[in-house]
Structure 1
């Protein structure tokens, strides 16, 4: 797998490694996000032992780990009958710096519910007194959080560092397509999100051909990837599939999700909370109301790939099962621009966060999100400075038409619905640029405007 910019995570691991003290590091994140590759990069040129757990019983796994350790030290395999003896043996091998990795640690926990307690005892009695660099890694976010990170876990308080590996930002994801223009990079990101394994799949210049080859064919690993993810994490995935399909197709309020899924409203929070905890969806508020007390809340799928899959693939499995791929292609081609438009808003938001960090905006903001009313008025991006009471309001258009005066005037009109005590500034983003009249008006009124080239230039700017 191509290794793309995890410098911050690598630095964190290297800093811990240089302490030369016992370190207990937890690394977790959804499948395919690049955890194993990060660990491999970190372990380069260092004494390390790597073991990936599976679904067999814990005694068998312990014996496999012992075999791995003995092989690493070119020794005979010792006769070890229990975990206490195992940790004593591992401690003896950790008098000098040793990285010891157990990947897919949740499988080991599944094999024996006492594993967290066993590791707590092993750390307290033996490993914590050595120079071991212990890494427990897992893809089941819920099990890692409950079994390892939760204050109720026996190993709570033992870890010295934790890293939740997030999907790549657009800035990093585009590095998988260095020869593609910014427009194609945005389309690919809209379809695949920031998961390295998915990004590696697209190898053709045409997005539709990539989709046909890697998402619509039953032999492709991406064809049923979300089903696999959900079944690994969830006991009753069908209800979650319904909710994700509803979210992908415009059901963003609780009552809309209820209608689309035929599930009673009072039953939804349980499922929505689980999906939130897994990082698959987000609960969002207008940027001027970013508080849990706000009732003006919406739900959205946080991951581009899941959103694309539940919008275009899952509802059309019947066509794909009878090999009518072209019918699904027609649906995708009809709606792709509208779909990419939402992902483009995320790219523009990332652009503003980067510009904010580089002090390239008229004011620095402390909050960024969207803004809307219950009546349906909406502004794509709103960036707020709570101290100076300034707000930047942005419209993002992914269309073949240039932005004209009507779009600008509509944004200004909607801004009058926002708190009058805020000083309002405006910006517009356009895939296809702006008319001459629009540019003249924006320049005269100090309204910022950005096209795809502006986004590309900022991403290439090193500050």
Structure 2
């Protein structure tokens, strides 16, 4: 299996491992984001026990827990008999006085088997494990449950953890490792589907182009990605049908709250509630113009699907499920080919923001990067630093035509509409293009200090 980057996460865990005190580390993040693989990499060469909690009853959970501990310490009797209760298990670990990693994966399943598990583990930590040498890691994919039952202020385990790390999706640059040697367009098109989830990239064949990969691994019934979004929502949410309606509306370009309410028939209070849940799950985000001074009071908010796979699935797969169930894949794929350029434009804008952060030294230290818009104008990316009174204006073009000076001149005109900063603010400009730039634009950039990016390269 390809293991991509995660250097910061591994450094964090290694630093904690070097500290001889008992540790209680919480790792959480989206399903298939790579939490388990991260722990597997970390425990290499270290004494460790890995226990995967599954959707079974508590008796079976405790039996499997006992078997994992008994197997590690070489005690067949314990493997066969098992602990009488969790407390006996915690006491056993303390009395062994050994330093080892104990990773409990999918901790939310353990909680589902007994809602008192957080309290049981709190007592276990306070009375036994905090007096041991254990390096305990609790992993979870149910973001809502991990944040309320483990990390939340009212959670029994609150204040016990010695470290925590939300494992986020990998970046576009990191994801490129799955398509090494492929051109920028190929990597961006695959990123527009798989996003930053390593497990999704592993479904694709490097030998196939994006449309063949879509046909074989996304649009075909029975494949993992065919029902992935539906399964995640069904497992995470109580009333998935409402969330399906919201996500389909947003994926089709309905982004204002009032328009979303009209499109779905869901009342505004309930829509707000459901969108908040999707935001907590890192599937949807409320986007504001980067220059907004009071974001909480702003009425300019637009909703967008921040998860690339969910965005693609709800825009191109979910509405056509009837045809796909009848194996009419070629017709659906043909329609995707026609619509994909527009879809890729928004993905390229997101990637451009990532590239700007990476190349910040070419401009100035940003404090924030984001889009800007008003009624009749929008700018794809703006970088700001209030302390330096500096602002960057950036246009991103996914087009077969090279970008010319007309785009640059239009950007300068739009920049005049942006009310931000003090007098004599320092203005910087940058352009992104899929296919490059005209000779006139290259000359203008050299003359006026405009930074040009073709694809993801300077």
- Which residue number corresponds to residue 371 of structure 1? 372
Deviations 1:385-427 (A, max 9, x none): 1112211011000110111222222211211111164433211
Q: 1:144 aligns with which of 118, 122, 146?
A: 146
- Which residue number corresponds to residue 4 of structure 2? 4
- Which residue number corresponds to residue 21 of structure 2? 21
Q: 2:191, 2:308 within 8 Å by CA — same for their partners in 1?
A: yes
Separation in structure 2 between the aligned mates of residue 88 and residue 364 of structure 1, nearest angstrom: 51
- Which residue number corresponds to residue 334 of structure 1? 338
Please say if 1:34 is aligned against 2:34: yes
Shift of 1:298: 1.1
Shift of 1:314: 0.5
Deviations 1:62-95 (A, max 9, x none): 12111111111111333532222121112223x1
- Which residue number corresponds to residue 309 of structure 1? 313
Q: 2:90, 2:129 within 8 Å by CA — same for their partners in 1?
A: yes
If the length of structure 2 is used for normalisation, what is the TM-score? 0.96
Separation in structure 1 between the aligned mates of residue 204 and residue 233 of structure 2, nearest angstrom: 23
Separation in structure 1 between the aligned mates of residue 184 and residue 403 of structure 2, nearest angstrom: 19
- Which residue number corresponds to residue 298 of structure 2? 294
Aligned to 2:232, the other structure's residue is in SS state helix
Separation in structure 2 between the aligned mates of residue 15 and residue 146 of structure 1, nearest angstrom: 27
Shift of 1:267: 2.3
Q: 1:170, 1:194 within 8 Å by CA — same for their partners in 2?
A: yes
- Which residue number corresponds to residue 406 of structure 1? 406
Shift of 1:360: 2.3
Separation in structure 2 between the aligned mates of residue 246 and residue 77 of structure 1, nearest angstrom: 57
- Which residue number corresponds to residue 162 of structure 2? 160
Separation in structure 2 between the aligned mates of residue 20 and residue 456 of structure 1, nearest angstrom: 44
Q: 1:318 aligns with which of 312, 315, 322?
A: 322
Q: 2:287, 2:301 within 8 Å by CA — same for their partners in 1?
A: yes
Q: 1:150, 1:156 within 8 Å by CA — same for their partners in 2?
A: yes
RMSD: 1.3
Please say if 1:430 is aligned against 2:433: yes
Q: 1:91 aligns with which of 89, 94, 108?
A: 94
- Which residue number corresponds to residue 453 of structure 2? 450
Aligned to 1:209, the other structure's residue is in SS state helix
Shift of 1:433: 0.9
Please list every run of 5 or more consecutive structure 1 residues that lacks an aligned counterpart in the other structure: 458-463
Please say if 1:67 is aligned against 2:67: yes
Aligned to 1:25, the other structure's residue is in SS state strand
Separation in structure 2 between the aligned mates of residue 456 and residue 3 of structure 1, nearest angstrom: 24
Shift of 1:130: 0.8
- Which residue number corresponds to residue 216 of structure 1? 219
Aligned to 1:222, the other structure's residue is in SS state helix
Separation in structure 2 between the aligned mates of residue 256 and residue 408 of structure 1, nearest angstrom: 33
Separation in structure 2 between the aligned mates of residue 442 and residue 388 of structure 1, nearest angstrom: 23
Separation in structure 2 between the aligned mates of residue 45 and residue 446 of structure 1, nearest angstrom: 51
Matched length: 450
Separation in structure 2 between the aligned mates of residue 24 and residue 59 of structure 1, nearest angstrom: 24
If the length of structure 1 is used for normalisation, what is the TM-score? 0.95
Separation in structure 1 between the aligned mates of residue 8 and residue 391 of structure 2, nearest angstrom: 30
Aligned to 1:314, the other structure's residue is in SS state helix
Deviations 1:30-67 (A, max 9, x none): 11100000010111111111111112222221121111
- Which residue number corresponds to residue 183 of structure 1? 185
Separation in structure 2 between the aligned mates of residue 223 and residue 212 of structure 1, nearest angstrom: 10
Q: 1:67, 1:77 within 8 Å by CA — same for their partners in 2?
A: no
Structural mapping, 1:267-278, within 5 Å:
267-278=270-281
Separation in structure 2 between the aligned mates of residue 376 and residue 122 of structure 1, nearest angstrom: 60
Separation in structure 1 between the aligned mates of residue 379 and residue 106 of structure 2, nearest angstrom: 42
Separation in structure 1 between the aligned mates of residue 429 and residue 271 of structure 2, nearest angstrom: 37
Please list every run of 5 or more consecutive structure 2 residues that lacks an aligned counterpart in the other structure: none
- Which residue number corresponds to residue 460 of structure 1? none
Which deviates the most, 179-188 or 256-265?
A: 256-265
Shift of 1:264: 2.5
Separation in structure 1 between the aligned mates of residue 75 and residue 450 of structure 2, nearest angstrom: 71
- Which residue number corresponds to residue 226 of structure 1? 229
Deviations 1:265-289 (A, max 9, x none): 2321100100011111111211111
Shift of 1:376: 4.0
Structural mapping, 1:37-48, within 5 Å:
37-48=37-48
Separation in structure 1 between the aligned mates of residue 20 and residue 449 of structure 2, nearest angstrom: 55
Shift of 1:346: 1.3
Q: 2:93, 2:132 within 8 Å by CA — same for their partners in 1?
A: no
Shift of 1:456: 3.8
- Which residue number corresponds to residue 461 of structure 1? none
Q: 1:182, 1:456 within 8 Å by CA — same for their partners in 2?
A: no
Separation in structure 1 between the aligned mates of residue 281 and residue 322 of structure 2, nearest angstrom: 28
Which deviates the most, 51-60 or 272-281?
A: 51-60
Deviations 1:11-38 (A, max 9, x none): 1101101111100000111111000000
